[in-house]
Structure 1
Amino acid sequence: MHSWIDGQPATAVNLQNRGLAYGDGLFETIAVRGGRPSLLSRHLERLALGCQRLAIDIDLALVRDELLRYASQLGEGVAKLIVTRGDSQRGYAPASEALTRRILQGGPRPAYPAGNAEQGIGLFDCQTRLAQQPLLAGLKHLNRLEQVMARAEWQDSACAEGLMRDVQGHLIEGVYSNLFLVRDGVLLTADLSRCGVAGVMRAALLDEAPALGIEVRTGDLVQADLEAADEVFVCNSVYGIWPVRTVAALNLDWPAGPLTRKLQAVARTLLDT
């Protein structure tokens, strides 16, 4: 699948692009099914929030149109949208005349083992910690070195994801997913006001849960919460939900419980819309 820049086929980006030089931008990773981008409205809402917070000018109607056209050509797979502040000369100060760049890339859906969703996965307990920066918290910005360093910590195929904490030791998320715990029928997830990525699937599940009669609590999660959990799962907007079976290094394990299975079915439906 060819890449697009600003709505046109292209294979190279300007070396003065601020996304390349400074990570000055945002991205969305979007599942494409039947020629349509899944959860498009939620992806655009998060993108709009990020652009507003970073003061990046964006035409959302144009982005939406390009995504729809690109997805129709891709058919099935995953589209990655990158938005950067544009091109400028050396120096941190953004050029007032810089034009926002929109980069689209596509590829096949990752070939995850079926057992990840059916039997569950192992989590690796990462030592890389997430720094706290409230201005960037929740955003899917281009600075992903913490995730790169965390993912380099393990090669064991028994662990499909890594568990990440902040500098104070709070449980935050997976390397490329959001984390949920279930205790006494209550759905628990981390407060992401200081660090972490507010995932699109996470937001959708939090919105769906009350209608299913599921109580939700968002706040600081610590090791004791993990140890007391009845069920654990991770989610993102490409694969939906994976039950977490174990964190081997911590000698913890859980079943793929009923609430996880209920929400897993919800996630599948959401990805098809």
Structure 2
Amino acid sequence: MTTRIFDGRRRVDAIAADGRGVAYGDGLFETMRVHRGTVPWWDAHWARLQHGAQRLHLRLPEPRQVREEAADLFANDDSANDRGGVLKLIVTRGGGGRGYAPPAAAEPSWLLSRYPVPVAVADGLRARWCETRLASQPLLAGIKHCNRLEQVLARAECIEAGVDEGLMRDLDGNVVSATSANLFVFRDGRWLTPLLDRCGVAGVCRAQLLPALQAREARLDTAALEAADAVFLCNAVRGILPLARLGARAWPAHPAIAAARVALARRHPAFALDVEHP
């Protein structure tokens, strides 16, 4: 991992001791797939970041500087023959002393980090239903804010159970997402994906696939998902990840998922490898 830290426009050596991101999770983040030194979905990620900043009344750094620093971070990227890299951007409200009240004119703090692409799962994911539930908070629904304790607890469940991923529900039992991915369900010849108006993250990859698959947003319960003909998870780093097993329920490879991967590859060149080597 390589990381650069900034206070406003100025590069610094460390996060400030009074940083609100550390103290309260008062910030946002984006995790992006890099392909041959570029971020093909940059505009979509920045638009979601702006939307989140409006919700939180949080200042963003100057977009041109962020993009130039990101490009420089991958300037020596030699990914023409591999799966590229991952760029993570964290933006917080900056320093503000003790107490919840946000400072009136804080300079944003932000970090850029470079990571390798996660290892692909060859035969589909094994998942479980998580006991940890997602609380409803419409003001935060959809945005990628820095408070992810629910996902941390759910991910710990997955590690303990020895599975690849966990599916999460809200307090009413509605299916929302996986711990780090959105999900799509294929039933009766069409794709469905959960509504995210109460909780959950509206993923950039999900936004690309909604029109591509002519998918419909809907409330889904556990029975609806387990009765599906096919299920996949998706995010902007790993693309489409077929679900192979959920408890006792198993799904074989399905042509609708293969078609979805082709549709995604048309929108992001890094995911063409998933079509060539599923």
TM-score (norm 1): 0.89
- Paired AA for residue 233 in structure 1: F
RMSD after superposition: 1.9
**Among 96, 105, 113, the residue aligned to 1:105:** 113
Partner of 2:4: 4
- Paired AA for residue 15 in structure 2: V
Correspondence 1:71 to 2:74: yes
* More divergent stretch after superposition (73-82 vs 59-68): 59-68
- Mapped contact 1:74–1:106 kept (Cα < 8 A): no
Aligned partner of residue 130 in structure 2, secondary structure: strand
Partner of 1:213: none
* More divergent stretch after superposition (169-178 vs 225-234): 225-234
Shift in CA distance, 198/188, structure 1 to aligned 2, threshold 3 Å: same
* Alpha-carbon displacement from aligned partner over 1:203-226 (angstroms, at most 9, x marks no partner): 01013224xxxxx22121012211
Partner of 1:209: 213
Paired residues for 1:47-126 under 5 Å: 47-58=49-60, 59-74=62-77, 76-113=84-121, 115=122, 119-126=123-130
Partner of 1:265: 262
Q: How many aligned positions are there?
A: 262
Correspondence 1:237 to 2:236: yes
- Mapped contact 2:183–2:233 kept (Cα < 8 A): yes
Partner of 1:253: 250
* More divergent stretch after superposition (81-90 vs 221-230): 221-230
**In structure 1, C-alpha distance between the alignment counterparts of 2:139 and 2:188, rounded to whole Å:** 34
**In structure 2, C-alpha distance between the alignment counterparts of 1:133 and 1:234, rounded to whole Å:** 23
Shift in CA distance, 143/73, structure 1 to aligned 2, threshold 3 Å: farther
Q: Which runs of 5+ in 2 are unaligned?
A: 79-83, 271-278
**In structure 1, C-alpha distance between the alignment counterparts of 2:168 and 2:182, rounded to whole Å:** 10
- Mapped contact 1:44–1:64 kept (Cα < 8 A): no
Shift in CA distance, 150/158, structure 1 to aligned 2, threshold 3 Å: closer
Displacement after TM superposition at 1:267 (Å): 2.4
**In structure 1, C-alpha distance between the alignment counterparts of 2:88 and 2:241, rounded to whole Å:** 22
* Alpha-carbon displacement from aligned partner over 1:224-262 (angstroms, at most 9, x marks no partner): 2113211111001111101111102xx212222111111
Partner of 1:130: 134
- Mapped contact 2:210–2:216 kept (Cα < 8 A): no
TM-score (norm 2): 0.88
Paired residues for 1:155-170 under 5 Å: 155=159, 159-170=163-174
Aligned partner of residue 12 in structure 1, secondary structure: coil
Displacement after TM superposition at 1:11 (Å): 4.3
Aligned partner of residue 49 in structure 1, secondary structure: helix
* Alpha-carbon displacement from aligned partner over 1:75-96 (angstroms, at most 9, x marks no partner): 5311110000111111111112
- Paired AA for residue 90 in structure 2: I
TM superposition outliers: structure 1 runs of 4+ over 6 Å: none
